[in-house]
Amino acid sequence: MERREHLVRFYSILDKLEREIGGARELAECSGRIDWPKRGVYFFRESGEDRSDSGQGPRIVRVGTHALKDGSGTMLWTRLSQHKGQPSTGGGNHRGSIFRLIVGAALIRRDELDFPTWGHGSTAKGDVRGGELTLERQVSQSIGNMPFLWVPIFDDPGPESRRGYIERNAIALLSNYDRPQLDPPSQAWLGHHSDRERVRRSGLWNQNHVDEDFDPAFLDHLDQLVSAMKRDA
φ, ψ of residue 213 to 5 degrees: the values are: -80, 155
Strand 147-152 versus strand 62-64 pairing type: unpaired
Q: What is the mean pLDDT of residues 93-117?
A: 98
What 8-state DSSP symbol labels residue 186? P
Q: What percentage of residues in the chain have a pLDDT greater than 70?
A: 99
Q: Which residues, in sequence order, are CB contacts of 144 under 8 Å at separation 6+?
A: 26, 27, 28, 84, 85
Where does residue 84 rank: exposed (0-12), middle (13-18), buried (19+ CB within 10 A)? buried
Confidence check: pLDDT of 233 > 60 = no
Length of the chain, in residues: 233
Cα dihedral: 12, 158, 76, 49 (round 10):
-40
pLDDT in tens, 23-82: 999 999 999 999 999 999 999 999 999 999 999 999 999 999 999 998 898 999 999 999
